Amino acid sequence: MARIVMKFGGTSMAGIERIRHVSGLVKREAERGNQLAVVVSAMAGETDRLVQLCREAASLYDPREYDVVVASGEQVTSGLLAITLQGMGLNARSYMGWQLPIRASGHASALIDHIDAEVLEKVFEQGGIAVIPGFQGITPEGDLATLGRGGSDTSAVALAAAVKADRCDIYTDVDGVYTTDPRIVPRARKLDMVTYEEMLELASVGAKVLQTRSVGLAMRYKMPLQVLSSFEDRPGTMIVGDEAIEDSKMERNVITGIAHDKNEAMITLTGLPDRPGTVAAVFEPLAAANVNVDMIVQSVPRRGEESVLTFTVPTAALAHSVAELHKVREAIGFADILTETNVVKVSAVGVGMRSNAGIAARMFKTLADRGINVLAITTSEIKVSVLIPEEYTELAVRVLHTAYELDAEDAE
């Protein structure tokens, strides 16, 4: 007998027919004698619809009320799944975030502080199946909170850690983690195993198959995580520690995967005075306004000349960032603020980078051969990212996938 948290994403929950199919998968695990907690997302498209309604109601809406609205999608699917499971003769019941409770702080992208395991332990003891809406928790004030887009993955892993589950299975609309988004590159290859570290990096640079925070939590609690399909019955991708991969003696590619992120906007400040403190004076107000600055490039001027500073922020924070910068323009003394939203960040990730030179050079050469201009660059120990014009997204991902020898062998 194993204790398993199963999580089903929006496509898997889109409509009664699919919810019935999900019930069949839950029933199969129950019949194997496993203890189950099931975490569900809202039906595909539902959260987008609810977010849009908030925007229509007011452009600057109250995050507390936003949470009340957007948390409702998961309430519907958890109830519906419990009903269909009961219809199959299973002892299932839904438990809202506040009923466990899942304690969280903040609104719209709340952090989980703690999950009480007591209620779930009782359910397991009595042979029941708990169905839990993903994405939601309850604040110390007793208000609803939501965990940020894609947050049901994080709900599932946090619950798995709280009840000390043997593993957490993330069922989605692809059959595992691929070398890149298989919807963009049909030659993408499914990975049998990925390390937590690589998955964390891939998720953080845009591979939306798992919410980044869920991978961070799984890594911290050493929770075995599996990504698999709700629609096809075949093994998925295991996300595991470094040791497991070393043990398996698999031959490893230097690069594990390519991801892209269109959610970046570029800001360029021109005519910056060349003196100590200028860059700090630009980024301090942005930090104070909670804006996460990502890529940064500064032109090094000749002594006494003015410099140019380019950096990226999340697209949603662009207007806010520009407003903050206008406030300090005179004090800093720069000339212009230029913005560009038609950009994309493309990244290559792999632990093999640590021991292999020339990874970045290969990226730049591959892009140059296609006439793609690189606007900014960042690197970490296991990642190289470039900012390029958005129109080249698919081409860049495809040619890099081929250049790093990631294409599936049987692809035509």
Interacting residue with ligand ADP among 41, 78, 256, 312 (CB under 6 A): 41
Q: How far is CA 217 from CA 161, 162, 200, 214, in A?
A: 8, 11, 10, 5
| CB distance 138 to 104 below 8 Å | yes
State whether the Cα torsion 48-51-53-56 is positive or negative: negative
Closest CB to ligand ADP among 261 and 294? 261
In the block, tokens 């894609």 appear at 150
Q: Which tokens sit at 87?
A: 């219809």
Closest CB to ligand ADP among 209 and 382? 209
User: Which does residue 42 bind out of ligand ADP, ligand ASP, Mg ion, none, counting CB within 5 to 8 angstroms by kind?
Assistant: ligand ASP
Please give the backbone phi and psi of residue 222, each rounded to the nearest 5 degrees, phi first: 50, 40
Q: Are strands 296-298 and 225-229 parallel, antiparallel or unpaired?
A: unpaired
Q: Number of residues interacting with ligand ASP: please give it, by CB under 6 A.
A: 13
Q: Give residue number: closest CB to Mg ion.
A: 150
Cα gap 32→26, rounded to integer Å? 10
Closest CB to Mg ion among 133 and 150? 150
User: Which does residue 75 bind out of Mg ion, ligand ASP, ligand ADP, none, counting CB within 5 to 8 angstroms by kind?
Assistant: none
Is 362 a residue that touches ligand ASP (CB under 6 A)? Answer: no
**Smallest distance from the beta carbon of 150 to Mg ion, in angstroms?**
4
In the block, tokens 């495809």 appear at 398
Interacting residue with ligand ADP among 5, 10, 123, 400 (CB under 6 A): 10
Q: Which residues from 141-160 bind ligand ASP, rule CB under 6 A? A: 149-153
Closest CB to ligand ASP among 150 and 182? 150
Cβ-proximal residues to 184 (8 Å cutoff; 6+ apart), any chain: 260, 393, 394, 397, 398
User: Which does residue 23 bind out of ligand ASP, ligand ADP, Mg ion, none, counting CB within 5 to 8 angstroms by kind?
Assistant: none
Give the DSSP letter of residue 79. H
Interacting residue with ligand ASP among 8, 66, 135, 311 (CB under 6 A): 135
Is 41 a residue that touches ligand ASP (CB under 6 A)? Answer: yes
Q: Can you name the residues that pair with 103 across neighbouring β-strands?
A: 114, 138
Strands (E), 95-223: 102-105, 111-115, 129-133, 136-138, 144-146, 167-172, 193-195
Of 104, 80, 68, 383, the closest CA to residue 256 belongs to 383
User: Which does residue 201 bind out of Mg ion, ligand ASP, ligand ADP, none, counting CB within 5 to 8 angstroms by kind?
Assistant: none
Interacting residue with ligand ASP among 4, 8, 10, 128 (CB under 6 A): 10
Q: Number of residues interacting with Mg ion: please give it, by CB under 5 A.
A: 1
Interacting residue with Mg ion among 97, 133, 137, 150 (CB under 5 A): 150
**DSSP letters spanning 354-400:** GG-S-HHHHHHHHHHHTTPPP-EEEEETTEEEEEEEGGGHHHHHHHH
Closest CB to ligand ASP among 147 and 200? 147
Is 206 a residue that touches ligand ASP (CB under 6 A)? Answer: no
Q: Which residues from 388-407 bind ligand ADP, rule CB under 6 A? A: none
Interacting residue with ligand ASP among 12, 23, 47, 172 (CB under 6 A): 47
Is 178 a residue that touches ligand ADP (CB under 6 A)? Answer: yes
Cα gap 82→20, rounded to integer Å? 10
| CB distance 265 to 314 below 8 Å | yes
User: Which does residue 73 bind out of ligand ASP, Mg ion, ligand ADP, none, counting CB within 5 to 8 angstroms by kind?
Assistant: ligand ASP
Residue 286 CA, chain-centre distance (Å), reads 23
Is 192 a residue that touches ligand ADP (CB under 6 A)? Answer: no
**Smallest distance from the beta carbon of 39 to ligand ASP, in angstroms?**
9
Tell me which residues touch ligand ASP (CB under 6 A).
Answer: 9-10, 41-42, 47, 73, 134-135, 149-153
Tell me which residues touch ligand ADP (CB under 6 A).
Answer: 9-11, 41, 150, 172-174, 177-178, 180-183, 207-209, 257
